[in-house]
Structure 1
Amino acid sequence: MSKWQTEVRLLARFLSSGVVNTFLGFAIIFALMAVGVQPLWANFAGYATGFFLGFVLSRNFVFRSNGRFVTQSLRYLMSFAMCFVLNLLVLQAGLQHMAAIPAQILASAAYTASMFLLARLWVYQNVS
């Protein structure tokens, strides 16, 4: 398999795991709100679950890594934080120039692209 094909395969698995993670996160948020949990706490629970599931899926399904767990988990946490800040910055900038929905889509795309690059080049750097 060529290097290009490998990268496309990894990106496809990354995106598909993101879809699963997003649906689960929203399911948790909406279920908690339905039983009376305040939206802020429901959101926190959904994103916390998404963070952990994202790490597990990235490590085991996307990159199929058997590298050092502690190192990879710390790098994943730092990557998540950096990408989330980028997401907020892009959202804030986008809201100055466009409606909220396109701004959210642009911010989400920035998060996804940067998270894939950091995961591929730093968190799971030795995976081929």
Structure 2
Amino acid sequence: MAEFKVVIADPNTGETFQREVDGQDANRFLGRDIGDEIGGDAVGLSEHTIAITGGSDETGRPMREDVSGTRLKELLLEGGVGFEPSREGERKRITVRGREIDNDVAQINVSVVEGDDVAAALGEGDADADDADEE
């Protein structure tokens, strides 16, 4: 059975939220590629549309949009997803995962494409502010 940690980014506020999904909600992500848009019902955002922006597997290998399928591939990278060079001209061979989501993916990064007030829809935001005021 698939189980994922989903990191939801709200581009309007710059906040991120984490949700763990399993069962039928997790199955909605299986077979999807980076860039696909789906309904937010799987993560508790029924009135929103989310787009898959990336992810990583259990060992931390990042998903790359330019690698097809679910396979692992070694790439010689000059920068981008999976490698940040520390000096000009530096390259490094890195193992990355393909753009399709399967059971080996542990974390999925998504961004809200349509819909407003993500924090309220997830039941967060104002409750944290109230707790801070009480202290």
TM-score computed with the length of structure 1 as normaliser: 0.29
Whose RCO is larger (CA < 8 A, sep 6+)?
A: 2
Largest Rg, 1 or 2: 2
TM-score computed with the length of structure 2 as normaliser: 0.28
Q: Which has the higher strand share?
A: 2
Q: Which has the higher helix share?
A: 1
